[in-house]
Amino acid sequence: MDVELRVNERVERLRLDPRVTLLDAVRDRVRLTGTKKGCDRGQCGACTVHVDGRRVLSCLTLAGSVTGRRVTTIEGLARGDRLHPVQQAFLEHDGFQCGFCTSGQIMSAVALLREGRAHSPEQIRELMSGNLCRCGAYTNIVEAIRTAGAAD
């Protein structure tokens, strides 16, 4: 099937098997490898991207279902050399260790801050519960999100 993906403001026209996930299309065909394949079952959040500004698990989303819609990956957050405020806060608060989950954590954090529902550490933890960190950097992740949210 022919699929037109608008990834990070760039149009990609691809011919894909209808079963190809957005994750595989972005990583293997568009060559943006910042989005990680973790569990490949929608349980860890490492594959989180935005579709029309909303966070989605790209391992569970068929590429054909987002044709013509706006897809943003971790590579699309920064503006030139200027990091997105959430990316900057993750650096400042050491919100990562091995880094494997970091792109999914950041993408979820950006979306939840945009939703305007993260007003306390408890709310942040609840709203981020779909993103797992094998290293256990949760305290620093929550602090990074709080800092980025306060800067908005």
Q: What's the CATH code of the domain at 98?
A: 1.10.150.120
**Cα–Cα distance, 72 to 75 (Å, whole number):** 8
Q: In this structure, are 133 and 93 located in the same domain?
A: yes
Beta strands 48-51 and 70-72, pairing class: antiparallel
Q: In the block, which residue shows the tokens 């989180």?
A: 48
**Cα–Cα distance, 37 to 24 (Å, whole number):** 8
Task: Tell me the pLDDT band of 152, cut-offs 50, 70 and 90.
Answer: low
The whole-number pLDDT of residue 151 equals 64
Could you say which of 41, 76, 111 is where a domain stops? Answer: 76
Residue 141 half-sphere exposure, CB side, CA atoms within 13 Å? 29
Cα distances (Å, whole numbers) of residue 100 to 10, 104, 121: 25, 9, 23
- Provide, rounded to the nearest whole percent, the portion of the chain with pLDDT above 90: 87
pTM score, whole prediction: 0.93
pLDDT digits (tens, 9 = 90+) for 67-126: 999 999 999 999 999 999 999 999 999 998 888 999 999 999 999 999 998 889 999 999
**Cα–Cα distance, 21 to 74 (Å, whole number):** 17
- Containing structural domain, residue 142: 85-151
Counted domains in the chain: 2
